[in-house]
Amino acid sequence: MTDSVALSVSHVSKTFGATRALDDVSLSFKPGRVTALLGENGSGKSTLIKVLSGAHAPDKGSASVAVGGQSRALPLTPRQSHELGLRFLHQDLGLVPEATVADNVAFYEGFLSPPLRPLRRQAEGGRTSELLARFEVKASPDSYVADLSPSEQTMVAIARAFGPEDGQARRIVVLDEPTAALPGDEVERVFRAIRRARQSGAAIILVSHRLEEVLDVADEVAVLRDGRVVASRPVEGLGADDFIELMLGHGLERSGGADTAAGGHGDGLLRVRGLTGRRLRDVGFDLRAGEVLGVAGLVGSGRSELARLVSGAQRPAAGTIEVDGAARVFDGPYAALAAGIVAVPQNRKRDGVILDMTVKENLTLGDLRPVSRRGGLGAINNAKERAEAAELIRRFDIRPPRPEALLRSLSGGNQQKVAIARAVRLGPRVLILDEPTQGVDVGARGEIGAIVTDLKRQGVAIVLATSDVDELLELADRVLILDRGRLREVLAREDITRDRLALALAGAALQGKAA
Amino acid sequence: MSTEAQLPPLNEASLTEAPAPTPPGQAPPGPPPPGAQAPAGQTTRRRQYFAQSSLFILIALFIVVFSALRPQEFANWGNFSTILYANAVTAVVGLGALLPLLSGEVDISIGGVMGVSGVFVAWAFGKGWPLVPAVLVALAIGAFIGIVNAVLVVRVRLNSFISTLAMTTVLTGIATLITGGGSLYEGIPVSFNKLVNYSVLKLPLAVIYTLVLALVISYVTSRTAFGRRLRATGAGRDAAALIGIRTARYVALAFIIGGVVSAFGGVIETAELQSASPTVGSSFMLTAIAAVFLGSVLSRRSHLNVWGTLLAVLMLGIGITGLTMVGAPAWVPDVFNGAALIAALMLSGAGRSLAATAFGRTGG
C-alpha cells in the first residue's frame, strides 16, 4: 500500500426526503490504483459520484474533499470538480454526436486557440490522434462521433476521460459501468486502457456490478451498503463469496416467500422464440397463466428491451411472439393491447403516465368506450367516468383519492399505482411490468407487490423486469437472467435465492466457485 | 352588452373538471380551521383567479376606457358588431391553429392555407363557378394541405414548426400564381358577401358561423373520446402511444381538420372583402396563434381551449380598434399584439412548457 492519497472525501451525508442516501461517508483513493466502488442498487454509489461531479450538494455539515492533500469544503460546482482533475465517464458517455472526435476532446481539454481566433485544427487533431492511439481507439480525430460504433464511442469517451499523458498523474477518473454497453470481446480493451492509465499514476474509481471484472482489474475495493461504507480494503485475499457477503450484509440464506402453490397453470399463454432486438439476441421463453416470470440482468443486459419488444413498443429484428398458439406481429403498442398484452413501462414520467392530465383521465385513457356513447365522437359520460375512476382509486388505494387531481401532484408511488391501475383496467391476459417499484416509497412498494400477487391468483401472466433482487425473491416463479443481451440462465422457483441471484447477476463465471 | 353574456365561460376546465374546493397540492382532508389558512396558498389562488379572469378584465377595461374617450364612435352596438365581424376570420384561423397545438404540434401554414383558399374562391367566381363547388373545393384544398403537412410531420418526421413555415412560403407562391400577382375581385357576386354580412339576431352571419364552429370544436375537443386522445397525444406523446393510442393518426387528423378550418377562414375573408390577395394570410397567422396561447389563461390548468381563443381574439380586436379610434400611430397595434402575447404567456405559465413541446419536437 502506498501512503499518498489522490482523493479523499470526508463526512459526506446526503438526504433525499426521508431517505438517507449517504451517511457520513469517508473514503480515500490512491494514485496509481484502481478502486472498485461496489454496492447494490440504492446503496449510494451514484449519489457519491454525483457529489464528486458537482451535480449534488451534500447535506450541510463538515463534508469536505481533499485532492493532493489540499482540503476544501463541499459542495463543488461541476467546473471546480473539473479543475481539481476529476473526470467522469457516465453511462450516457457525454459525447456530442454531431461533433468530431477532436472537438469532443476539445470540449474537455479546452481549445488550443482563444475563443475568437481561428481553430487550430491541425494541433487539435494531433493531440487527439496521440490520445486515441494510446488507448487503441481506431477512430480518426475527424470522424463524427455519431458515425462511430457504440463500442468505439465508449472507447473515445474513456480515452477522453483519462486525457493527455502529461496531466495523467494528477487525474482522478471515475468510470461508471464502462463495460455495461459493450460486447464481451471489447471488455478487455477497456481493461488495457485502465491498466495503462494506472501505470501513469491516475487514480481510478471503477463502478461495476461484475465481480469478475472487479477481481480482474481492481486493486482496492470500497463497498457501500445503505449509504454507509462497510469496507475499504485491498482486493488481495478476497474471494467471490466475500464480495457478495460484503455487498449484501448477512442475508445470504434468505429464500423467496412467494406463493409457490400458484406458480402458473395451464398451457403456455405466451410463447416467445428467438426474440432479437438492438441488444437482445435470440431470447426465448414460455409463460403460463398465473405465472410471474422475473427478468433480471444488469444495465445493458436487454432487460428493458425485452419488455418493450413483447409489449409492441419496439419492433423485433427477429423472432416470434405467440399468444395462445397464434403468431403475432405487433406494429405498435395498440396491437399488443388487442392481443391482451398490456405494459407498464419503466420511465414512468415520460412513458407511463401523462403528468398534465388528471388521475381520472389517466385511468380511463386506455379504453374510453365503456364510459362514452357511440365511439370516438360520442360524448364521454362524466358521471360514469368518475364512478369508474373512483372505483379504481379505491381498489388500488391511490392517494389523494381525488379523480380530478392532476397526476403531477401525486407522489411517485401513487403515480405508479395509477399506471398499474390503468393497465389492470384493460383486463390484460399478460401484464408486463418494467421496474414497477423504481422511485417508489416503501409503502407503495408493498402495495404494488400485493397487486401483483392478486393478479397472479386471477390468472394473469406477468412479466416482471426488474433490477430489484427483493422483488424477484418475493414475487417471481421463475427468473430469466440476461447477460449482454443473451439469455444466460433460467432460475426455477426453488433456485431463486438472494445469493443465487446475486451470483447470476455478477457473472456466470463465478457460479461454480460460490455455490 | 358585455361579452360574457354571449360567450358563456365554458372553458375546458369547467367542462371536464369538476370544481375542486381547493387547488391541487394543498388540500388538507377535512375542513381547515377557521382563519388558519396558509397565506401563501391564498396568494397563489388569488393569482390564479386573476390570471383566469384576466381576459375578461382586459375586455371590460378596454370597453370602459375607450367608451369614455370616444363615447360617440366606440360605445354603440354597431361598433361592437363591426369588431366581431372584422375579427371573425382571426377567430376561425385561431381555431384552425388550436387543433394541431392540442396534438403537440404547431401549424404555421394556417395563414398560407387561408390565403390560397381565399384566392381560389375568388378565382373560381371569376371563372364563373357556382357558389357551392367553389367553396367545397376551397375547403378540400385546406384538407389536402393538411394531409401534406401531416405526412411531413408524421411520416417524414420533420419538425412541424420548420416544415409548416416552409409550407407557408410555398402556399404564398401558389396564391400569387393564382392571382397573377395582384388582387382578384371580378365576378364575386354580391350575394356571396350577404352570406357573411347579413345580420341574424343583430349579429352578422360570419360571427354566427364562428360561434357554431367554436361550439362544435369545443364539444369535440373537450367532451369526446377523440378529444381526450388528442389532448393526451399533445400532453404526453410517448405515454399516449404506449397506452395504445395511435398518436400518429391523431396528429394527422389535427393537421387535416385544422387545414379545413383555416380554409374556411379564407373563404369568409374573401366574402367579407369581396376580393382576395395572395399576401393576406400572413398577418392573420401570428395573431391567431398568439390568441390560442393567450386563451390558455382562461383554463385553470393553462390548457389551450376554444373559448379562451375566441375571447383572446376579441380582446385583441377591441384593443386595436380602440387604439385606432383614439388616434394611436400605425406602429402601436403590432407592439400591442406582441406585448399582449408575452404578458399572457408570463401570466399563465402554459406558454413555456407548451411552446417548448410544440416548437421543439420533430413529429411522430
ipTM of predicted complex: 0.78
Q: Evaluate whether B153 touches B247 at the Cβ level (below 8 Å).
A: no
The confidence score (pLDDT) of residue B364 equals: 34
- Residue of chain A minimizing CA distance to B232: A354
Question: Which of A331, A349, A357 to probe the B interface (max B CBs under 10 A)?
Answer: A357
Please say if the pLDDT value at position A409 is more than 70.
yes
Domain boundaries, chain B: 74-356
In whole angstroms, give the CA distance from residue A342 to residue A422.
10
Which of these ranges, A155-169, A186-200, B104-118, B146-160, has the smallest mean pLDDT? A155-169
Q: For an interface test with B, give the residue of A314, A353, A372, A380 to mutate (most B CBs within 10 A).
A: A380
Q: Which residue has the higher pLDDT, B261 or B300?
A: B261
DSSP for A138-189, please give it.
---TTSBGGGS-HHHHHHHHHHHHH--GGGGGG-EEEEESTTTTS-GGGHHH
Helix (H, G, I), strand (E, B) or coil at B109: coil
Look at residue B72 and tell me whether its pLDDT is greater than 80: yes
Task: Extract the C-alpha cell encoding B157.
Answer: 418526421
Which of the two residues, A185 and A429, has the higher pLDDT score? A429
What pLDDT does residue B12 have?
Answer: 38
- Residue in A closest to B13 by C-alpha: A404
Question: Chain B closest CA to A428's CA: distance in Å?
Answer: 12
Alpha carbon distance A130, A110 (integer Å): 16
Three-state DSSP at A321 gives strand
Confidence of residue A62 (pLDDT cuts 50, 70, 90): confident
For range A389-395, the mean pLDDT: 93
Closest to A436 measured CA to CA, from A345, A336, A312 = A345
Q: Does A406 lie at the interface with B, CB-CB under 8 angstroms?
A: yes
Contact present, A334 and A312 (Cβ < 8 Å): yes
d(CA A233, CA A240): 15
Give the Cα separation of A40 and A38 in Å (integer).
7
If you search the block for the grid coordinates 445503505, which residue do you land on? A226
DSSP A281: -
Question: How does the average pLDDT of chain A come out, rounded?
Answer: 85
Under 8 Å between Cβ of A163 and A109: yes
- CA dist B163 and B161 (Å) reads 6
Higher pLDDT residue, B224 or A151?
Answer: B224
User: What local confidence, expressed as pLDDT, does residue A428 receive?
Assistant: 93
Crossing angle of helices B332-348 and B306-325, rounded to 10°: 150
Give A347-380 pLDDT, tens digit per residue: 888 888 999 899 999 999 989 988 888 766 788 9
CA separation, residue A350 to residues A294, B123, B142, B240 (Å)? 24, 49, 34, 10
Q: What is the mean pLDDT of chain B?
A: 83
Residue B350 has pLDDT above 60, yes or no: no
The whole-number pLDDT of residue B354 equals: 52
Would you state the pLDDT for residue B35? 38
pLDDT score of B332? 87
Collect all residues of chain B within an 8 Å Cβ-Cβ radius of residue A406.
24, 301
> For residue A69, what pLDDT is reported?
78
Length of chain B, please? 364
Give the CATH number of domain B74-356; options: 1.10.3470, 1.20.120, 3.30.750, 1.10.10.
1.10.3470
User: Which of B27, B242, B244 faces A351 most closely, judged by CB atoms?
Assistant: B242
pLDDT of residue A308: 93
Contact yes or no for B228 and A365 at CB 8 A: yes
pLDDT for B278-299, tens place per residue? 888 878 888 898 899 888 888 8
Residue contact B245–A334, C-beta within 8 A: yes
Which domains are present in chain A?
A: 7-249 (3.40.50.300), 260-340+428-514 (3.40.50.300)
Test B243 with A378 for CB contact under 8 angstroms.
Answer: no
Question: What is the band of B15 on the pLDDT scale with cuts at 50, 70, 90?
Answer: very low
Burial A42-61 (b: 16+ CB within 10 A, else e): bbbbbbbbbbbbbbbebbee
- Which one has a higher pLDDT value, B19 or A49? A49
Provide the CA B50 distance to its chain's centre, in angstroms: 22
B139-159 pLDDT, tens digit each = 999 999 999 999 999 999 999
Distance of CA A445 to the CA centre of its chain: 18
Task: Name the E strands within chain B.
Answer: 199-200, 203-204
- Per-residue pLDDT band for B28 (boundaries 50, 70, 90) equals very low
Alpha carbon B322 to its chain centroid, in Å, reads 21
Q: Could you give the CA distance from residue A156 to residue A108 in angstroms, rounded to a whole number?
A: 12
